């Protein structure tokens, strides 16, 4: 599920640690042999007036392990949807499949009752940008494109990813929109490097979309995730390289640009205050992956 605004504050080293204290990450090692150098590096970068993540946003090895278990469910559900989605299926059927599979595997659909959202999954069709409500009245037909956005809670750990599906005979330009959006995510992921900046990823996504004649929604983007459904940082795609939050190892977030065939403008329907549509009625596409910054590079956690 996309992020409208950051909901969790980044706390920067509010507690001081001595060299022989147990490290704050829970590794069991002494601070001087674990995250002391890491903290010193972040402090230097912060003094250069860059935005840095606090310790509360850096995932520990134990947290990462739990989040990956949650992601196994999320990926399995989307894999199954990929196998069964077809013309004539209703989006309500997709919602029931997501609920049944997630709960049978021991998880909880994270969107269900989140801030009043009444379904287990978001199903956004054609000009719906995101947060589409599943419905028995929405029957998939040839030519449709749909984003299925799944999020899972397992033992307090959150996973989040989405995929696009083309139903039947889709117009070539609409199919190209779906493909270019996928490429945007792939290029964004390649730009995620430890000790780089979130803006490096944002500009890679932005440049590829606009080079191909498409636009990207400004108001809604990705978000930090893992210990909560929506954490800092908020992830936008109108940023510049070398700007935005420092990509410190342990930071986890989603890359999920909403790419429009027409203009950037969107609106939220008054009917339920959730579903987002393009202003001009042209199609929108979105792929979402959940990414972990590592010491060596980056890892896709959920897709």
Q: What is the pLDDT of residue 34?
A: 82
How many whole angstroms from its chain centre is CA 294? 17
Residue 39 belongs to a domain: no
Over residues 180-221, the pLDDT tens digits come to: 999 999 999 999 999 999 999 999 999 999 999 999 999 999
Over residues 113-171, the pLDDT tens digits come to: 999 999 999 999 999 999 999 999 999 999 999 999 999 999 999 999 999 999 999 99
Residue 11 belongs to a domain: no
Residue 45 belongs to a domain: no
Cβ 288 vs Cβ 161: under 8 Å: yes
What mean pLDDT comes out for the span 174-182?
98
The pTM of this model reads: 0.92
Within 8 A by CB and 6+ apart from 79, the residues are: none
For residue 42 the two structure tokens come to 């972040």
For residue 234 the two structure tokens come to 């908020």
Residue 41 belongs to a domain: no
Cβ 30 vs Cβ 19: under 8 Å: yes
In total, how many domains does the chain have? 1
Over residues 57-67, the pLDDT tens digits come to: 999 999 999 99
Residue 2 belongs to a domain: no
Strand, coil or helix: 274:
coil
pLDDT surpasses 80 at 10: no
Nearest Cα to Cα of residue 109 among 138, 66, 152: 152
Question: Which of 27-31, 201-205, 214-218, 282-286 has the weakest average pLDDT?
Answer: 27-31
In DSSP notation, 7-52 reads: -S----S-S---TTSBPTTSSSSBGGGTTHHHHHHHHHHHHTT---
Within 8 A by CB and 6+ apart from 271, the residues are: none
Nearest Cα to Cα of residue 238 among 275, 205, 265, 261: 205
Query: Could you give the CA distance from residue 113 to residue 123 in angstroms, rounded to a whole number?
Result: 16
Query: Could you give the CA distance from residue 241 to residue 16 in angstroms, rounded to a whole number?
Result: 32
- CATH number of the domain that 85 lies in? 3.90.230.10
Nearest Cα to Cα of residue 161 among 255, 67, 250, 249: 255
| Structural domain for 114, as ranges | 54-302
Q: What is the pLDDT of residue 13?
A: 52
pLDDT surpasses 50 at 9: no
Identify the H or E element spanning 207.
helix 198-211
pLDDT surpasses 90 at 178: yes
Within 8 A by CB and 6+ apart from 72, the residues are: none
Residue 278 belongs to a domain: yes
User: If you ran DSSP here, which 8-state letter would residue 221 be given?
Assistant: B
Residue 3 belongs to a domain: no
Residue 192 belongs to a domain: yes
For residue 285, what are the CA distances in angstroms to 36, 164, 237, 240, 289? 42, 7, 14, 22, 14
Q: What is the pLDDT of residue 8?
A: 41
Over residues 68-125, the pLDDT tens digits come to: 999 999 999 999 999 999 999 999 999 999 999 999 999 999 999 999 999 999 999 9
pLDDT surpasses 70 at 24: yes
């Amino acid at each position: 599920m996309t992020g409208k605004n950051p909901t969790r504050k980044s706390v920067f080293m509010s507690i001081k640690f001595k060299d022989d204290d147990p490290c704050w990450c829970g590794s069991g090692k002494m601070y001087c042999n674990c995250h002391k150098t890491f903290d010193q590096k972040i402090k230097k970068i912060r003094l250069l007036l860059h935005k840095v993540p606090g310790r509360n946003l850096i995932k520990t090895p134990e947290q990462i392990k739990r989040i990956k278990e949650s992601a196994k469910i999320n990926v399995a559900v989307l894999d199954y949807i990929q196998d069964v989605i077809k013309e004539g299926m209703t989006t309500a059927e997709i919602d029931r499949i997501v609920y049944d599979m997630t709960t049978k595997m021991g998880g909880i659909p994270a969107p269900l009752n989140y801030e009043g959202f009444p379904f287990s999954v978001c199903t956004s069709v054609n000009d719906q940008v995101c947060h589409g409500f599943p419905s028995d009245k929405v029957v998939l037909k040839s030519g449709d494109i749909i984003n299925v956005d799944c999020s899972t809670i397992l033992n307090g750990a959150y996973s989040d990813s989405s995929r696009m599906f083309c139903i039947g005979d889709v117009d070539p330009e609409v199919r190209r929109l779906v493909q270019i959006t996928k490429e945007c995510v792939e290029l964004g992921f390649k730009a995620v490097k430890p000790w780089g900046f979130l803006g490096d990823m944002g500009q890679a996504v932005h440049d590829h979309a606009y080079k191909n004649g498409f636009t990207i929604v400004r108001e809604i983007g990705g978000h930090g995730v893992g210990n909560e459904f929506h954490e800092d940082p908020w992830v936008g795609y109108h940023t510049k390289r070398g700007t935005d939050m420092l990509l410190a190892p342990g930071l986890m977030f989603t890359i999920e640009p909403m790419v429009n065939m027409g203009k950037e403008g969107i609106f939220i329907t008054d009917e339920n205050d959730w579903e987002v549509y393009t202003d001009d009625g042209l199609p929108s596409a979105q792929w979402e992956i959940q990414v972990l910054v590592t010491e060596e590079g980056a890892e896709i956690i959920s897709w």
